Amino acid sequence: MADHQISKPEGPVAIAKAEGASLNPLDPIARFNRSKLKQYTNIEIVVASILFIAIVILAVFGAFLQTHDPMQGDLMARFAKAGEKDYLLGSDHLGRDLWSRAVAGLQWSMACALTANIINLFIGTTLGLMAAEKEGWARTIIRQFTDTLQSFPFLVVAIVVVVIVGHGFVPLVFTLGLLAWVVFMRVVYAEATSIYQRDYVKAARIAGVSRIAIMFGHVLPGVRASLFVIFAFHFAGLLIAESALSFLGIGAPLGVPTWGNMLAESRQYLLKAPGMLMVPAGAIVLAVITMNLVGDGIASLSRKRGRSIDV
Amino acid sequence: MTSVASPSSVLNIDNLALHFLGQDSVVEALKGISLHIDKGEVVGVVGESGSGKSVTALNILRLLPRTKTKIPHGAVSVLGRDVLTMGEKDLQHVRGGEVSMIFQEPMTALNPVLRVREQMFDVIMRHQKITEGEAERLSLNLLADMKIQDTERVFNAYPHELSGGMRQRVMIAMAFSCNPKLIVADEPTTALDVTVQAQILNLLKERARATKTSVMLITHDLAVVAQLCDRVYVMYKGKIVEQGLTRDVIGKPQHAYTRALLNALPEGKKPKSRLETVAASMIEGADSAAAPVVVRTTIQAGFKLYGQGQPLFEAVNATVSYPKKYNLLGRAISFQTAVDHVNLSITEGQTLAIVGESGCGKTSFANSIVGLVPLAEGELRYKGKNLKDHDDLTRREVQIVFQDPQSSLDPRWPTWRIMTEPLTVGKSPSRNELRETAAGLCEMVGLDPSAIDRLPHEFSGGQRQRIAIGRALSVHPRLLILDEPTSALDVSVQAQILNLLLDLQEKFQLSYLFISHNVAVVRHISDYVAVMYMGKVVETGAADQVLSRPEHAYTRTLMDAVPTLERAFAA
């Protein structure tokens, strides 16, 4: 219980002294130390935010940041090294600028992963809530279906589906979107089931609150924090899945600058031009690390605010 | 009685202070306490949550994380040796060897994946050099000392195969297994039923006497202390405010806090009288936002009395059963009856209490009334008509308040929204209307109306329970089901909630169905009592009659098991 006395020095000057902060009101560090922001910030969150903002800027303003046309090659300037002939990160086997291609690939991969992720979120949350709400045939069917889907190796299924429905952005997004929602369903189902056991949900039911109002008023807000976290982690997973499919030649159409395609092209020139491998591989690693950091950051934020645990 | 430690002290704590280091705050959990326990003494440490009693206990064995605590001054010595400066190896010897602990929750204190046999061996063979055969004989003897009949079965059982009382016996047997000089028991019976509690406490006392072991009993229950302890220390906010022989401290309390604590107990007070509460200044932080109860009659002005003499609510042969086994198609083929043909009735403005131990079906019965579980048989009548045939609005005149105020409020909702949630059903009143209603409800339940924007975690347990009561009152209920509304609260807060309930009943002629295992509370608040045992009502009648002159054998057992201050002194 909180009825211990918290020893606190009196007055703002004493507080500042006790915290070892400067008394200069213009000192931004002192102000930061006293501010609420400090409670919610740590180095992880700062790094994640910087990387994330950089990625968003690249994705949105990519067209202005490309130094070359990503599709246009210059056969006179094949395999340029980084910095050579105004190629920032070098050029590939057709003399195309790797930097510009990486930026273009970012846009393609991000758009694909984001759309698929939103579809995943929607399907997984809906099914998870439906299954958690009430015991009965709906729960049985949804859970069995989820188990079945999860028991297949995801990439193999995705390969089969893509081979059948064909290449391109839309088929790829829908394949990922319709197959990869299992993690959302599982987490939502588990958390929602526990929320449905709480007394405040019982009290709402006794007061006659409708099932829909309970679902959107109590249960969905209760799983929201977790949804943000999975959304970030899953985003990283989808980025990898998209790159893997493209690498295998069944994701993005050939020739489109995506990270997976770039990796696939680099295979033949591995020894001659390692930059062709390093640029897209580095981009994937950075993007995945960023999304994981963002996920961790959201998780620790929601813990600090005491909402995801104080329930 | 003096606090001077004699050389024969088993435990000696001298002016001990302990701080918890938070991220940017320091919490002073102990502010210089001194206590001592002599050989063969049973000493009680009483206090409410947050008083520092458990911290004291854990610190004897240095069980608190060292990086998060700081001991500015003081000393703790066990058998004359300083524990605070001891190395980890010596501590290992003290832990379990010289001092052993019994925890509140035996399910978590025992390892669920090991048999009792392995766990006892582990303790015994770590501290004594004996063979496995000898250890087995010793263990079986210890279990037999705990009055366990089928020692072999218990010895070879996993913790989940044992009942709560049996687990606690095993814990005590293990605590005694290495002939410790001191046993620290931290709320050893709080999680147990009254009848089991009585047996466990007797066992603990007997064994301690027989082996001349000292016991430090930590509890919030003054009656338990009165029954068991030679001496008692009363703790309040990290300080010891009173100490002495149990009879003196409880019979003639000197410190204001001890007196307040005793006055807050419903025991021995005139039924339905308002209990004295620990002055708000003393328990600041615990329930400081509580304002005096001011009732705005506009909120509840519309209530109509149903009619004198007729029962407002009746249960006729009410039966609740849960499926136990299913066939292949998922249909239940056998049932467990939780509530067995219960017949009860409540008149307007009166309180019927259901008393019983865990598993007797009292909560299932409550849940069936509010429609959370279906009735297998029988009928629930409200105002002379089957509850099911009433329209939704009338059905809402039956409301419930749950036991655990932690789980009964949505942690993400502000208070005003929680309290007025029932009012939004089928209607959409404006935000301002709802906030105004909530402010009125706050006043009604003794909360500061300006608190309506706060979130549940900003309130104490007692305040949360007030919010839950306010939510139930928002729909003008006539019958309020109170499912153990005070059992998660401290004694002083319990007194405040009981007073509030009595006030509200008087103002609005509310009927209460009060479910509890606490006989003293039931005696205080109820007009009629029904005693439930294994799903059946075994005895009903006027509260005074049933509780003072019980007829049924089970009721008598229950009454005998309840620790009371009165009986402790009579003995």
Window 274-303 of B: residues touching A by CB (8 A cutoff) are: 283-286
Residue B220 has a pLDDT of 86
| Mean local confidence (pLDDT), B168-180 | 88
Q: What is the largest CA-CA distance in chain B?
A: 78
Output the pLDDT for position B97.
82
Q: Which of B23, B49, B411 is closest, CB to CB, to A311?
A: B411
- The answer to whether residue B352 scores a pLDDT higher than 90 is yes
All residues of chain A having their beta carbon less than 8 Å from the beta carbon of residue B425 are 207-210, 213
Q: Residue A82 — pLDDT band, cuts 50, 70, 90?
A: low
Work out the percent of chain A whose per-residue pLDDT is above 70. 81
* CA distances (Å), origin A276, targets A53, A241, A268, B543: 25, 20, 10, 87
When pLDDT is averaged across residues A179-188 and rounded to a whole number, the result is 93
Set of chain B residues whose Cβ sits within 8 Å of the Cβ of A16: none
* Per-residue pLDDT tens digits for B223-277: 888 888 999 999 988 889 899 998 888 888 888 888 888 888 887 778 877 877 6
pLDDT band, very low/low/confident/very high, at A20 (cuts 50, 70, 90): very low
Partner B, chain A 170-229, Cβ-Cβ below 8 Å:
198-200, 202-210, 213, 217-218, 221-222
User: Token pair of B298, please?
Assistant: 């506009």
**B27 contact residues in A (CB cutoff 8 A):** 4-6
> What does the alpha-carbon distance between residue B110 and residue B170 come to, in Å, rounded to a whole number?
9
Q: Does residue B135 have a pLDDT over 80?
A: yes
Q: What is the DSSP string of B83-146?
A: STT--HHHHHHIIIIIEEEE-S-HHHHS-TTS-HHHHHHHHHHHHS---HHHHHHHHHHHHHHT
Instruction: Check if the beta carbon of residue B318 is closer than 8 Å to that of residue B378.
Output: yes
Q: Which three-class secondary structure state does DSSP give residue B435?
A: helix
Does residue A282 have a pLDDT over 60? yes
Opening angle at CA B467, ends B465 and B469, nearest 5: 70
Tracing tokens 């048999």 back to the chain, one arrives at: B115
pLDDT at A127 over 90: yes
| Model confidence at A23: pLDDT above 70 | no
Measure CA of the first residue to CA of the last residue in chain A; give whole Å: 16
3-state helix, strand and coil shares in percent for chain A, rounded to the nearest 5: 70, 0, 25
List, as one string, the DSSP characters of B501-515: HHHHHHHHT-EEEEE
Position of tokens 């000696």? B12
B47 band by pLDDT with thresholds 50, 70 and 90: confident
Evaluate if residue B23 carries a pLDDT over 70. Answer: no
Q: Phi first, then psi: what are they for B482, rounded to 5°?
A: -110, 105
| CA distance linking residue B106 with residue B85, whole number of Å | 31
Query: What are the chain B neighbours of A206 within 8 Å (beta carbons)?
Result: 370-372, 396, 399-400
Q: Do A8 and B25 touch (CB under 8 A)?
A: yes
Four-residue CA torsion sign, B122, B123, B126, B130: negative
- Phi/psi for B231 (5° steps) reads -125, 160
CB contact under 8 A, B468 and A203: yes
Band of the pLDDT at B351, cuts 50, 70, 90?
A: very high
What type of residue sits at position A260?
A: G
DSSP alpha helix (H) spans, B212-254: 222-228, 246-251
**In whole angstroms, what is the distance from residue A98 CA to residue A296 CA?**
31
Contact B219, B263 (CB under 8 A): no
Angle between helices A220-247 and A275-304 (to 10 degrees): 170
For the segment B86-98, what is each residue's pLDDT rounded down to a tens digit? Answer: 888 888 888 878 8
Mutate to test the interface with A, among B27, B235, B412 (most CBs of A within 10 A): B412
DSSP code string of B312-377: EEEEEEEEEEEEEEE-TTS-EEEEEEEEEEEEEEEETT-EEEEE--TTSSHHHHHHHHTTSS--SE
In the prediction, which pLDDT does B513 show? 94
B301 or A85: which leads in pLDDT: A85
Helix or strand or coil: residue A292?
helix
C-alpha dist (Å) from residue A41 to A33, A52, A233, A301, A304? 11, 15, 20, 8, 10
Fill in the amino acid letter for B254. Answer: Q
pLDDT tens readout for residues B49-72: 878 888 898 888 888 888 888 889
Rounded CA gap, B492 and B257, in Å? 10
B236 beta partners: B239
- Percent pLDDT > 90 in chain B is 18
For residues B185 and B159, the answer to whether their CB atoms sit within 8 Å is no
pLDDT band at A305 (very low <50, low <70, confident <90, very high): low
pLDDT of residue A1: 39
Q: Per-residue confidence at B482, pLDDT binned at 50, 70, 90?
A: very high
Which pLDDT tens digit goes with each residue over B508-541? 888 999 999 888 889 899 999 999 988 889 889 8
* pLDDT score for B2: 42
Question: For chain A, how long is the longest CA-to-CA vector?
Answer: 77
Mean pLDDT, chain B, rounded, equals 84
Please state the rounded mean pLDDT for residues A166-187: 89
Residue B318 CB neighbours (<10 A): 23
pLDDT of residue B107: 73
B488-514: average pLDDT: 88
- For the entire predicted model, the pTM comes to 0.78
Task: Note whether B285 contacts A2, CB cutoff 8 Å.
Answer: yes
Q: Flag if A206 and B29 touch (Cβ within 8 Å).
A: no
Residues of chain A contacting B475 with CB distance shorter than 8 Å: 207
List, in order, residues 6 or more apart from B352 with CB less than 8 Å away.
B344, B345, B346, B511, B512, B513, B514, B526, B527, B528, B529, B530
- B360: Cβ contacts below 8 Å, ≥ 6 apart: B532, B533, B534, B535
Q: What is the pLDDT of residue B567?
A: 72
In this predicted structure, the answer to whether residue B40 has a pLDDT above a threshold of 50 is yes
Task: Examine the pLDDT at A119 and tell me if it is beyond 90.
Answer: yes
- AA letter at B324: K
Distances B238 to A134, B100, B338, B460 between C-alpha atoms, Å: 47, 23, 44, 19
Q: Does A310 contact chain B (CB < 8 Å)?
A: yes
Q: What is residue A8's predicted lDDT score, i.e. its pLDDT?
A: 42
Smallest Cβ–Cβ distance between B425 and the set A203, A208, A221 belongs to A208
Gyration radius (Cα) of chain A, Å: 25
B257 touches chain A (CB under 8 A): no
Let me know: does A199 contact B402? Beta carbons within 8 Å: yes
Give the pairing of strands B231-236 and B42-46. parallel
| Dihedral (CA of B560, B566, B568, B571) sign | negative
β-pairing, B99-102 vs B81-82, is unpaired
Name the token pair of A301. 């934020």
Instruction: Return all residues near B224 (Cβ < 8 A) that are at least 6 apart.
Output: B44, B189, B197, B201, B217, B563
Q: Does A308 score more than 50 pLDDT? A: no
In this predicted complex, what is the ipTM?
A: 0.76
Interface of B with A in 369-408 (CB under 8 A): 370-372, 392, 395-396, 399-400, 402, 404, 407-408
The amino acid occupying position B53 is K
- Per-residue pLDDT, B360: 85
* Each residue's pLDDT tens digit, A200-222: 999 998 888 889 999 999 999 98
Which residues of chain B have a CB within 8 Å of the CB of A306?
A: 457
